[in-house]
Homo-oligomer: A and B are copies of this chain.
Amino acid sequence: MRRIRTIIAYDGTDYVGWQTQNNGIAVQEKVEQAIFEVTGQRSSLQGSGRTDSGVHARAQVAHFDTDVRMAADKFAIALNTHLPADIRVLYSEETTPEFHARFSAKEKQYRYFVQTGPHADVFSRKYSLHAYMPLDLDLMNEAAALVVGTHDFSAFMSTGREVETAVRTVSLSRWEKQGKFLIYSVQGNGFLYNMVRILVGTMLGMGSGRLPRDSMERALLSLSRKDAGPTAPPHGLVLWRVKYPDFDTEEVLSRVP
């Protein structure tokens, strides 16, 4: 058996998320079906992690095993002929059996896009949150800086999910203005369920004055969900980058034309 490693982009609008669920179609099952059509074999596809319903990916990483003798880089092209236009396999290569898309991942980066004009831009409406309100970007960046480091993020987790530990290490957390967008980039060794969306909801609440200016600090100390803000909508969120010791989607995408 050979292990094939892929980078997959998807528009999450019409999916229940990455992982197969009972309530709709998942990206994972679409790609598994394409693998079956290409190889004639049922293979299970392992992603670097789940993304929620409506969340997008610019660079999800996933692997599957197959004994089909096809040049590894050709799987991307072959799979795309069996995939809908809102899912694209951007890259494929052979890797070692030790590689695991989820367990080998060192860091992930998410980006959250906010558009702040008076009228939502029609062309990016499905990939960004429209929030027409004065936002204090400096205050939001002060809050974002507090997130960097190793913290117990219990306050930034949707209730009802059991985890062994809510301690995560964040290496990058900042807001930037790019044209009509405010973009929040956050990178870390792991994220709790809804963590990025709750971080964004907290900072938008602070930046707009609807939440106290010290909400981020309080939530990080109290570990209480009610000190954090609301969960921001999914459609502004994009899984942007996944890093492994020997594989970085950012590096690969920069050399794939």
* Also in contact, A118 and B10, with CB within 8 A (given A85-B125, A123-B56, A123-B127): no
Choose among A10, A87, A116, A117 the residue with the greatest number of B CB atoms under 10 Å from its CB: A117
A120 to B90, CA, bound (A): 9
- A residues 237-257 touching B (CB-CB < 8 Å): 256-257
Contacts of A80 in B (CB 8 A): 119
With CB as the reference atom, state the residue of chain B lying closest to A116: B257
Q: Check A198 for interface membership: any CB of B closer than 8 A.
A: no
Contacts of A87 in B (CB 8 A): 122
Our pick among B58, B76, B116, B117 for the contact of A119 (Cβ within 8 Å) is B76
Do A86 and B125 touch across chains, with their CB atoms under 8 A apart? Answer: yes
Contacts of A117 in B (CB 8 A): 256-257
Q: Check A140 for interface membership: any CB of B closer than 8 A.
A: no
Contacts of A127 in B (CB 8 A): 123
Do B122 and A88 touch across chains, with their CB atoms under 8 A apart? Answer: yes
6 CB < 8 A contacts A-B: A9-B121, A9-B122, A56-B123, A58-B123, A88-B119, A117-B257
Q: How many residues belonging to A are interface residues under a CB distance threshold of 8 Å?
A: 26
A interface residue numbers (CB < 8 A to B): 9-11, 56, 58, 76-77, 80, 85-90, 116-123, 125, 127, 256-257
Question: How many Å from the CB of A181 to the closest CB on chain B?
Answer: 13
With CB as the reference atom, state the residue of chain B lying closest to A257: B117
Question: How many Å from the CB of A79 to the closest CB on chain B?
Answer: 10
Question: How many Å from the CB of A191 to the closest CB on chain B?
Answer: 21
Do A257 and B9 touch across chains, with their CB atoms under 8 A apart? Answer: no
Contacts of A90 in B (CB 8 A): 119
* Also in contact, A118 and B11, with CB within 8 A (given A86-B125, A125-B85): no
Contacts of A122 in B (CB 8 A): 9-11, 56, 85-88
With CB as the reference atom, state the residue of chain B lying closest to A12: B122
Q: A9-B121, A77-B118, A86-B122 are in contact. List 12 more A-B contacts (CB 8 A).
A: A9-B119, A56-B123, A77-B119, A80-B119, A85-B122, A85-B125, A86-B125, A88-B119, A88-B121, A90-B119, A116-B257, A117-B256
Question: How many Å from the CB of A89 to the closest CB on chain B?
Answer: 7
A207 to B156, CA, bound (A): 52
The 7 closest A-B pairs by CB, nearest first: A11-B122, A88-B119, A9-B122, A85-B125, A90-B119, A88-B122, A117-B257
